[in-house]
Each structure stands twice: as C-alpha cells, then as structure tokens.
Amino acid sequence: MVFFGFSQISRHFSKFTKMSKSALVILAPGAEEMEFIIAADVLRRAGIKVTVAGLNGGEAVKCSRDVQILPDTSLDQVASVKFDVVVLPGGLGGSNAMGESSLVGDLLRSQESAGGLIAAICAAPTVLAKHGVASGKSLTSYPSMKPQLVDNYSYVDDKTVVKDGNLITSRGPGTAYEFALRIAEELAGKDKVQEVAKGLLVAYN
C-alpha cells in the first residue's frame, strides 16, 4: 500500500508563485490516481491555488490502484466556496460516486450558473450527465463512456481535449497532462503554461 499526503508533496510550490486563481479538485473513492495527481500538481505549478476535497470526508481516499491520498479537507467544508474551476478526475469508481452525490450535483450546477469553469476527464464527464450539467455542449471522454453521453452532448471522438465555453473535457490517463495544461492556460495564461510544460519536459502547443 502506498500512502501520500498530497498537500505535503506539492505545498512547497506555493512558496515560489503568487496564487491568484483557485481550483477545487474533488477526490472520490476509486478515482484514477494519475488523472488526479497530474491535474492538481500541474495547476499548482502554474500558480493556481488548489484545494483537494475528499468526497466523503477528510480521511485518506483509496484510489483505483489502491494508492491512498490524503485530501486537504472534506467537500462539505468547501462546497459553498467559489472556485475558478471545479475539476473532476476520472476513474469509474470515483465517477460513479460523484454521480450519486447530491452535494456534487448542487456544486456543479452552482458553478455552471455562475459561469465558472468545469473540467472533467475520462469517466468523469458522465457525472455531468447524471446531474444535468452542461447539456448540449461539445465534450469527450474515455471511449467506453460515449454511450452515456451522446444523447445529451455533442460528442467529439477525434480530439484529446475539448473546450466548449466554460467546459473542458478529456479522454483518459494518457491525456492528463494536456488536460491539466489546458485548464492552467485558461486560468494562468499561455506564457505561464509554456513555462510549466517546459519544466515538465512535456510538449504543449
């Protein structure tokens, strides 16, 4: 078993960058580790203040590959706080849990009505469908999730990241860097994202 306190791993980035924008990353049991960690880490490297909120409390969350991650706080403690972006990592178990949560539904609908950014990757776009969020927009997802999305969205098969207004979606673990960098570009600008990508040795155009 591997155990990480996520705040302890990446908190030091905040000492070197001014954080003006904010992100909420929801961590649910069964989340895809790569998608969660890459999103939260890249956003922090871009100078965005990231809050990791556990769906079911502030205790360690077991992810899809049995990695346990300690969130910063519980979702119910920050659900009324306004964030510039709400990020939904994928993973089938985590996505199902978020899709069944009325608190997540209320939060996403509030974020949408306020014009805030919502970002979802892999199986997580199905959470939007379950809560009736962003209906009619263009999006993508992990390929096997497509049947759950085609009726209510304009589904895109040939792009790894899709942005439609205040919605950003992506396909899976292998597209997590591009997904995270696209969110960061929206909040921190192209120059900052190019700087982050260069440091990570990741190509980003």
45's tokens? 């490297």
Cα-flanking dihedrals φ and ψ of residue 68, to 5°? -105, 130
Q: Give the model's pLDDT for residue 14.
A: 41
Q: How far apart are the C-alpha atoms of 48 and 175, rounded to whole Å?
A: 20
The CATH number of the domain holding residue 143 is 3.40.50.880
Q: Give the model's pLDDT for residue 6.
A: 55
Q: Give the model's pLDDT for residue 118.
A: 98
Q: Per residue in 9-57, pLDDT tens?
A: 444 444 444 548 999 999 999 999 999 999 999 999 999 999 999 999 9
Q: Per residue in 170-205, pLDDT tens?
A: 999 999 999 999 999 999 999 999 999 999 999 998
- What's the chain's Rg over C-alpha atoms? 15
Catalytic annotation, pick one of 117, 122, 168, 193: 122
Average pLDDT over residues 68-87: 97
Instruction: Please name the residue that has the structure tokens 């921190």.
Output: 188
Q: Which domain holds residue 82?
A: 2-200
Per DSSP, the three-state class of 159 is coil
Q: Which amino acid is at 48?
A: I
The secondary structure of 8-36 as a DSSP string is: HHHGGGGGTS---SEEEEEE-TT--HHHH
Residue 7 has pLDDT above 70, yes or no: no
In the chain, how many domains are there?
Answer: 1
In a domain, 72, yes or no: yes
**Catalytic residue check, 63:** no
In a domain, 205, yes or no: no
